Amino acid sequence: MFYALGIIVTLLALIVVWLVRLTAPLDAEYDLIAILDLLPPSERITFHISEDLRQMLGMMGYDQKQFSCANRNGAFQALEDIRALADSGKRLILHIVSHGSRNGLWIKSTDERIAWAELRQPLRSINEAQKRTLIVNLSSCFGLHGIRVAKRNRPFYGVIGPSVELEVPTARDLNRSFYTGMANGKPINVVVNEINAFAGDQVLFCITAGIYASPLRWMPLWISKPVLRIGVAVRHLLVRS
């Protein structure tokens, strides 16, 4: 009996340790926001998403660099250029502005598509270059589905984006709220939670590659959410103690 009890206690302890590690906040500071804009030139002018984002980031004191691409080749070349920035020592957030679907990004100018899986290697190169701290923020319809890239190899730390279609005014509002929260020193998950609380709905999601690659991915939400909350609560208790 005591032997079985010991095994149960050991397993529970291992599960707690795993959850605590899984829910660890990202301890990193960023010195560059790289904006990859895949919209047609006419929509860049009409929508002003990237331009407004750059102006806002500049006012907040963030260094930023925009890569505007009109086709697939340009997009992948831009990712190579962004990797070079990471190689030079920049620790960046990659912000992608694009049309999108559950299956990937859509370059409207040329009617070309980039499947999520095609982004795995380029993003992984950037992530490795900056010590696995890459955050990908997607201003695109169904941007959260970019987490599918993380089925293996963990090509980034985490993804931020909507799970449904995204309207242009909403995209601008989300960008403003997100980076304002970050500029105030708040952790990413706290910023996202505050945005959703203010909106009264789950308009923005953030998920780490570690969680997506874990067994929690296969659990229904009514199980996985409480499990993650337990991990966060235990982590807070350990920090306070």
Instruction: Dump the DSSP string for 18-32.
Output: HHHHHT--------E
Q: Residue 21: inside a domain, yes or no? A: no
178: CB partners within 8 A, 6+ apart: 137, 160, 191, 192, 195, 204
DSSP string over 2-53: HHHHHHHHHHHHHHHHHHHHHT--------EEEEEE-S-HHHHHHH-HHHHH
Q: Residue 19: inside a domain, yes or no? A: no
Instruction: Tell me: pLDDT of 19 over 70.
Output: no
User: Can you give the residue range of the structural domain that contains 65?
Assistant: 28-240
Instruction: Tell me: pLDDT of 235 over 90.
Output: no
135-139 β-sheet, strand order: 64-68, 32-37, 92-97, 135-139, 158-161, 205-208
Query: In total, how many domains does the chain have?
Result: 1
Q: Residue 48: inside a domain, yes or no? A: yes
User: Could you tell me the CATH number of the domain that includes residue 146?
Assistant: 3.40.50.1460
Q: Residue 11: inside a domain, yes or no? A: no
Mean pLDDT along residues 24-47: 87
Element holding 172 (H helix, E strand): helix 168-183
**What pLDDT score does 191 carry?**
86
105: CB partners within 8 A, 6+ apart: 38, 75, 96, 98, 99, 113, 114, 119, 140
Q: What burial class does residue 136 get, using C-beta atoms within 10 Å of its C-beta: 0-12 exposed, 13-18 middle, 19+ buried?
A: buried
Residues above pLDDT 90, as percent of the chain: 51
Instruction: Tell me the two tokens of residue 86.
Output: 């990471």
Q: Residue 186: inside a domain, yes or no? A: yes
Q: Which amino acid is it at 116?
A: W
Output 175 or 21, whichever has higher pLDDT.
Answer: 175
pTM confidence score:
0.82
Q: What burial class does residue 179 get, using C-beta atoms within 10 Å of its C-beta: 0-12 exposed, 13-18 middle, 19+ buried?
A: buried
Q: Residue 18: inside a domain, yes or no? A: no
Q: Give pLDDT tens digits for 73-107.
A: 999 999 999 999 999 999 999 999 999 999 999 99
Q: Give pLDDT tens digits for 161-189.
A: 988 899 999 999 999 999 999 899 888 87
Q: Residue 219: inside a domain, yes or no? A: yes
Output 27 or 194, whichever has higher pLDDT.
Answer: 194
Q: Residue 147: inside a domain, yes or no? A: yes
